[in-house]
Structure formats: structure tokens, C-alpha cells
Amino acid sequence: MMTLRRALPEGSHLVVAKNTLLRKAVEGTKFAPMSQASKGMNAWLFVDENVAPTMKAVKNLTKVWEKAGKTVGFNGACMDGQFISASAIAPLENLPTKLDLIAQIARGINQVPTKLARGTKGTASKLGYAVQAISEGKSGIISA
């Protein structure tokens, strides 16, 4: 258990509690769907908004434990007040982190003025080439 706790990134907390105690604690909260997974031996993992790094750390440790002959698996998850089955947990590993999302938004915001500048420069350059072609008599459409 200590290996798992040490491998978890910041913002992740591992709690080992009795299932009945957990059911009482989550009753009437947004974590109430977690009681569906409270059967057998469990350790409860609470994660902040950076889900992907935690899921990757748990997956890596699961592989190591399986090689050692220990069986570890997920019963389910609770996200935004909804229960997620064990089979639907795998895509959570590919979610972008908060910093990744901020970087994507910043790149998107930065592209608008860059593309606008390129577009306006391109129009002026083309107009200049057109005027020069007309003045030199190279234009087949208009002659000077």
C-alpha cells in the first residue's frame, strides 16, 4: 500500500476504510454512487482534476503487481456524481491534464492574431504585385 501511495502524483489521496463506514460517509453527497463499488476488500482513491497521471501511475503499479502474482483491479469510479463501471475507467488515462488544457487554449488564442497578421500582410503583398504587374504591362486583364 505504501508503494502505491508513494507512486501517486500530487492531488491524489488513497484511503483504506471499511465499506460500511464509507457508505455512511458518502450518503447524501456527490460521492454517493461510490457505494455501488463497496463490496469486498477496497482501497479508495480520491483524485483532483488531474486524473490521467494518477491513472497511469496506478496502471503501471498494477502491471508490476500482476507480474508478482498479486491480483489488483478496479470495481468502479465516481466522477461528477456518476458511477463509472470498471470497463469504462480505461479512457480516463488519456484525459489531458489541467496544464495541457491551459496550453491548448493559449495556443488557440495566440493563433488568431497570428493568422490575422499573415492574412492582412498577404493581401497587401498581392495587391502590390498586381499593381507592379499592371504598371509593367504584364497583366493580361488590365493594361496601364
What CATH number does residue 69 fall under? Answer: 3.30.70.1730
Residue 87, classed as helix, strand or coil, is helix
Whether the predicted pLDDT of 143 surpasses 70:
no
Burial (Cβ within 10 Å: 0-12, 13-18, ≥19) of residue 57: middle
Instruction: Say yes or no: 12 and 65 in one domain.
Output: yes
- Between CA 32 and CA 80 the distance in angstroms is 11
Q: What is the pLDDT of residue 1?
A: 67
Residue 109 belongs to domain spanning: 96-144
Instruction: Say yes or no: 85 and 23 in one domain.
Output: yes
Q: What is the pLDDT of residue 43?
A: 77
Instruction: Say yes or no: 71 and 89 in one domain.
Output: yes
Mean pLDDT of the chain, nearest integer: 79
Choose from 21-30, 51-60, 120-129, 131-140 the range with maximum mean pLDDT: 21-30
- pLDDT tens digits for 81-101? 777 777 777 777 777 877 888
Q: What is the pLDDT of residue 10?
A: 83
Backbone angles phi, psi at 23, to 5 degrees: -60, -40
- pLDDT tens digits for 43-79? 777 777 777 777 788 788 878 878 888 777 777 777 7
Compute the average pLDDT of residues 123-141: 77
Instruction: Say yes or no: 52 and 29 in one domain.
Output: yes
Among candidate residues 77, 80, 99, the one with its CA nearest the CA of residue 89: 77
Instruction: Say yes or no: 45 and 112 in one domain.
Output: no
Q: Are 98 and 50 in contact (CB under 8 A)?
A: yes
Q: How many domains does the chain have?
A: 2
Q: How confident is the model at residue 36 (pLDDT cuts 50, 70, 90)?
A: confident
β-strand partners of 83: 78
Q: What is the pLDDT of residue 144?
A: 57
